Structure 1
Amino acid sequence: MKTSKLLLSFLKEYEVKHVFGLPGETSLSLYEEFKGEIQHILTRDERNAVYMADAYAKLTFKPGVVEGPSVGSVYMIPGVVEAHKSSTPLIIITTDTMLYGEKLNYLTALDQTSIFKPITKESITVTKPEELAHAIRRAFRLATTGKPGPVHVRIPSDVLEGEIEKDKITMLKAQKEFSRYPAYRPIPDSQTIDMVTDLILKSDFPVLICGQGALYSMAWDEVLELAELLGIPVGTTITGKGCIPETNPLSIGVIGGRGGTSFSNGIVENADLVILVGSNTDSANTDKWNIPPRNKKIIHIDISEAEIGNNYDSVNVLGDAKATLRLIIDNIRRRGLPARKNIFLDRSKFEEKIREISEEKREVVNPLKFIRELWSLTPDDSVLIADPGIGAIYTSAFYKAKRAGRYFIFNYGLGGLGYAIPASVGAYFARPNSLIVSLTGDGSFGFSAGELETIKRVNANVVIILFNNGGYGWIRAEMSINYGDVVGTNFSSPDYVKIAEGFGLSAYRIAKDEEIVETLRSAIKNTPSLVEVIVEPEDKFVPPVTHWVRSIKTKDTKVVY
């Protein structure tokens, strides 16, 4: 059997239905096998292929599989780094020239292992056909256990085109339990569960804060059960959005430096105990470790020994989020419900302030108004993917999660531009019956415009919202608010509507608030589509980014916080 055929056979055993990538000279024999049960999604750029697989993995709870040729391996790096930083389980397959080809100056040959080793859980090189089964088993096992993440498998073309002797083909079988994540759910010991239960029951004002790890663990049922059992308010980080329906009265929304509001961050400030669940406590989610502040009493539940207690002096609980919360809930129920005061969350003043700001007329579109209208028009099972910038911040803060689960994707592992458009393709294949809303900006659009062709070719049920503020608005705001001057951030605006139409998409432009509702209805009805939304840059209409809010010096600057 040819190695390429065995590879596809193994992927089928691991329930792989889609592979994202594009061909090259070193991968031609692999393309002979792409037929039948596994659908290959042709992309226009290797980085974008990784972004597609990343979103696919987040929404299916299966490792995303991406492949690329030797020459394209270096283009994958931004996507792989994002997956590594955000702990997304991916199987990254790159083909290569013969391994000695680099010493011969063989065209496209390079040291892939040195490139991928520091940005994956492991980089595996298959040096002969008989090693393939072991390599694929190891890749899926590593990607789906512990703290999940990407694994790189490098296959030279002479190995891929080689043959395996019949008596060696069936020596190692696929380990099907690693087809999905989390493949295993480690739990803490009973003494630790007793200790954290005591801390929770003795506190007067505990708050749960859920990070993306709680979503990876599918812990939203346990989060809601614990919250309702004890009346605990629940906030999430921007990447953990969806751990609780934000229409629930116990939800305080997103907290932290990006998407956190005066209401949600204020609740955390007043808490006497913070329970972190599946959070890597990075600088953005915690506003550089000010939310929660480091003087708080903190319990940190996480599957990663590298993350628990990494940035806070906390009570550390090493274990899977869902399984650990279940043990805590069961322990509380065995002890009987405690007598505690109801925690009253008075959000009326905050919500009235936000309503007033959303109705305020601007010279162009009010982004807060836009997000609130988008919320009212999209189905409950819609998936929203947002690039850093206006789309991510307003969506995280003001588009309330209508149900619990993975319905929001923000690439704040690394936070690079150009994620949302290609990721929407992966989301479409993961959730083909859901509306996919891709919120991008004019800065991000330049990174990924080519994938409009992919979106049209696969006829994805995608609405692209392109916020046009005439430049790199986030960096402009950093410059303007913190330094006063703006240099090198503004650029001209091409006709995005014509560009989208040229790719075959339905295309629209919204320049004032009165156009929002009818235009969105048309765009949702006529997918795939793109809607250009004319807005002010972030330094003119400041979104809830905590360090910006603190730094504003002029009273006439509008702040949405």
Structure 2
Amino acid sequence: MTCAELLIRLLRDTYGVDTLFGIPGVHTVELYRGLEGSGMQHVTPRHEQGAGFMADGYARASGKPGVCLIITGPGMTNIATAMGQALADSVPMLVISSVNRRDTLGRGQGRLHELPSQQQMISGVARFSHTLLDAEALPEVLARAFAVFRGARPGPVHIEIPIDLFSVPVTAPRAWQAPAIYRAAPDPEGLIQAASWLRSAERPLVLLGGGCVDAPEAARALVERLDAPTVTTINAKGLLGRHHPLDLGANAALPAVRELARDADVILAVGTELGETDYDVVFDDGFALAGTLIRIDLDPEQLVRNQRLSLGLVADAGRSLALLLEHFPTPLQRHGVARTAAALAALDLAHDPAFADFVPFYATLAEQLPEAILVGDSTAPVYAGNHLVSQPAPRRYFNASTGYGTLGYGLPAALGAQLARPDLTVVALVGDGGVMFTLSELATAVEERLPVVILLWHNTGYEEIRRYMDAHGVERLGVDILPPDFLALARGFGCVATHVDDPASLSEALASRPLDGPFLIEIGAEPWQTHRE
């Protein structure tokens, strides 16, 4: 078989890849010769950034790496933004691209799609980027990529294959089975010390991040045994189940939770960066931990970032939670439920002017689509939802307002999530500004007949930046942008679309949504807010 055919066989038969995202180009046609008849689904986005965001959403919803086939040069510069978002949030993504012939690399001859060094350019948004120079090395390089996904802190991996290698004959492997890779377990001595400190704590606090999403049972059991108030970050929403009495949600930047953090004598932080978009979204460096800090993370460097460390365990989050649980056979009594309830009562999120407009918004969603996956862009409903939303399970709420914070993520990522979880309804939460970055992916949704619900919050421009300019005494410029007729655009793509102004109309629209394709619901921000008042 050829190198291109071997690549497709390895992805399918060795690593269980069933879906690929990509736009064919003259440099990648040989990959498509290997793809025909493979049984794998190929999804064609309308832009390579859309391909990357779809792969990201697919990975977050399924737990499996999203895989992209990308053209040399402009395809890679287009997908780099999506890779940056995936890198920031530790999302497994495999980007396989073409690159110019081996004998032309780095020679600056003005070849089609040529970059001085595509591999060097993309290395900054990848766990690693590798140029394949020997077709026989392909199985080893792919194995390295999946070793990162399965055994280390995940993120994007890039493998580029020179176009003259695609048709080179290669030797098939003797066996197609992937190696079994187990993540690191915590050091027993360190675990004993961590358990000792947690056992003697009077005011413990637990911080759970996206690294814990595959261990909801262990996470829930441990915080209950510790009787500890628990922050679940945006990427960890649903980890404890909906409205768990110890769940503070993703509210670490708000005063009552910050007070709990300052007062905590022992803090256990698992699978979380302790980064500002989760703990300091007001950007004043006000989240402070004065107590004994225990951190568990697959990345040893991450253990010493952002907060002063007392004890660090380099280990898998899920395995660590399960082993730590064994040190607490009976529940402790630390008034955790009461402390959590008092903090949430002090926050009073439902009556906070910053969030109140969206309380009926999310109440309507919870009533009509209680099991839905909510995928968001950087937009007002998402900023509020980060604080308001409680989900029944992990991997059902994620967005681009954290980490890299790109625009245009919500719609294509929701399509990827729907492909990964056809058994669940997926809702894309987008704004009229951000959706314009990737609005063309409506065509992909229609073509693939994906029943994604798209809630478009229409406030005629970049409202978040408008407020920021106003607050800092900067004259508004570039934020009051001219919106298109979104309903006409959606219908032009073949997407059913409607407009609503209040919760009752939204509820009615959701109840009558089509199930054989996308449905765009435009929400007038001003009448919605006026109606609430």
Does the TM-score normalized on the shorter chain lie above 0.5?
yes
Aligned to 2:45: 43
Rounded to whole Å, the distance in 2 between the matches of 1:131 and 1:352 is 58
Matches within 5 A, 1:308-327: 308-315=303-310, 316-327=312-323
| TM-aligned CA deviation for residue 37 of structure 1 | 2.0
1:220 corresponds in structure 2 to: 216
> Shift of the alpha carbon at 1:338?
4.3
Shift of 1:291: 5.7
Q: Partners of 1:524 and 1:65 in 2: how far apart?
A: 29
Measure the CA separation in 1 of the matches of 2:263 and 2:368.
Answer: 35
Aligned to 2:154: 148
TM-score (norm. length: structure 2): 0.91
Mind listing any 5+ residue stretches in structure 1 that lack a counterpart? 178-182, 361-365, 542-557
Find the aligned partners of 1:169 and 1:203 in 2 and give their Cα distance: 57
- Compared CA separation, residues 84 and 347, structure 1 to 2 (3 A): closer
Number of the residue aligned with 1:295: 290
Matched, 1:373 2:364: yes
After TM superposition, list the pairs within 5 Å mapping 1:350-369 onto structure 2.
354=350, 366-369=357-360
- Report the Cα distance in structure 2 between the residues aligned to 1:90 and 1:10, rounded to whole angstroms: 16
Q: Could you tell me how far 1:293 is from its partner in structure 2? A: 0.6
Higher mean C-alpha displacement, 344-353 vs 152-161: 344-353
Aligned residue among 410, 422, 432 for 1:432: 422
Structure-2 separation of matches of 1:108 and 1:348: 54
CA contact (8 A) 1:21 1:43 kept: yes
Q: Does 1:252 align with 2:248?
A: yes
Alignment of 1:57-136 (within 5 A): 57-71=59-73, 72-102=75-105, 103=107, 104-110=109-115, 111-136=117-142
CA deviations on 1:9-39 (whole Å, 9 max, x unpaired) are 1111210000111101110011112233211
For residues 444 and 186 of structure 1, the distance between their equivalents in structure 2, rounded to whole angstroms, comes to 39
Kindly state the Cα deviation for residue 230 of structure 1 after the two structures are TM-superposed.
2.6
Structure 1 residue 444 corresponds to structure 2 residue 442: no
Secondary structure in structure 1 of the residue aligned to 2:430: strand
Structure 1 position 415, deviation (Å)? 0.7
Q: CA deviation at 1:422?
A: 0.6
Aligned length: 519
SS for the counterpart of 1:135 is: helix
Letter of the 1:409 counterpart: F
1:143 is displaced (CA, Å) by: 3.0
Tell me which residue corresponds to 2:373.
383
Distance 1:503 1:176 in 2: 44
More off after superposition, 310-319 vs 5-14:
310-319
Match of 1:161 among 139, 154, 167: 167
For the Cα contact (< 8 Å) 2:234–2:250, is it kept in 1? yes
Which residue in 2 is equivalent to 1:553? none
Offset, 1:353: 6.4
**Aligned counterpart for 2:509 among listed residues 499, 510, 519:** 519
Letter in 1 for 2:69: E
| Counterpart Cα distance in 2 of 1:459 and 1:280 | 37
Report the Cα distance in structure 2 between the residues aligned to 1:342 and 1:147, rounded to whole angstroms: 31
**Partner amino acid for 1:309?**
V
Conservation of the 8 A alpha-carbon contact between 1:68 and 1:95? yes
Alignment of 1:473-492 (within 5 A): 473-483=463-473, 485-492=475-482
Q: What secondary structure does 2:326 align onto?
A: helix
> In the superposition, relative to structure 1, how do residues 524 and 435 fare at CA in structure 2: closer, same or farther (>3 Å)?
farther
Q: What is the alpha-carbon root mean square deviation over aligned residues?
A: 2.6
Distance in 2 between residues matched to 1:514 and 1:64, nearest whole Å: 37
For residue 261 of structure 2, the aligned residue among 239, 260, 268 is: 268
For residues 208 and 425 of structure 1, the distance between their equivalents in structure 2, rounded to whole angstroms, comes to 33
8 Å Cα contact 2:414/2:427 also seen in 1: yes
TM-score, normalized by length of structure 1? 0.87
Counterpart code for 1:158:
D
- Contact between 2:220 and 2:240, CA under 8 Å: does it hold in 1? yes
- Residues 500 and 36 from structure 1, CA distance in 2 versus in 1: closer, same or farther, beyond 3 angstroms? same
What is the CA-CA distance between 1:176 and the residue it aligns to? 4.4
1:262, CA displacement in angstroms? 4.9
Shift of 1:101: 3.1
- Describe the superposition over 1:421-464 as per-residue Cα deviations: whole angstroms up to 9, x where unpaired: 01111111110111000001111111001100000111112001
Deviation at 1:418, TM superposition (A): 0.2
From 226, 238, 243, give the equivalent of 1:230: 226
What does the per-residue CA deviation read over 1:195-222, in whole Å, with 9 as the maximum and x for residues that have no partner?
111211111221211111112xx12211
Deviations 1:244-268 (A, max 9, x none): 11312121211234xxx45544543
Q: Counterparts of 1:358 and 1:521 in 2: how far apart (Å)?
A: 28
For 2:20, the equivalent position in structure 1 comes to 19
Q: 1:296 and 1:482 mapped to 2: Cα distance?
A: 35
Match of 2:208 in 1: 210
Over 3 Å counting, the alpha-carbon distance change for 1:77 and 1:418 in structure 2 is: same
Q: Secondary structure at the match of 1:317?
A: strand
Sort the Cα spacing of 1:353 and 1:400 in 2 relative to 1 into closer, same or farther, 3 A.
closer
CA distance in 1, matches of 2:232, 2:332: 25
Q: Which runs of 5+ in 2 are unaligned?
A: none
Aligned partner of 1:56: which letter? Y
Q: Which moved more, 1:526-535 or 1:320-329?
A: 526-535
Preserved CA contact (<8 Å) 2:70 2:97: yes
Q: Is the CA contact (8 Å cut-off) linking 1:122 and 1:151 kept in structure 2?
A: yes
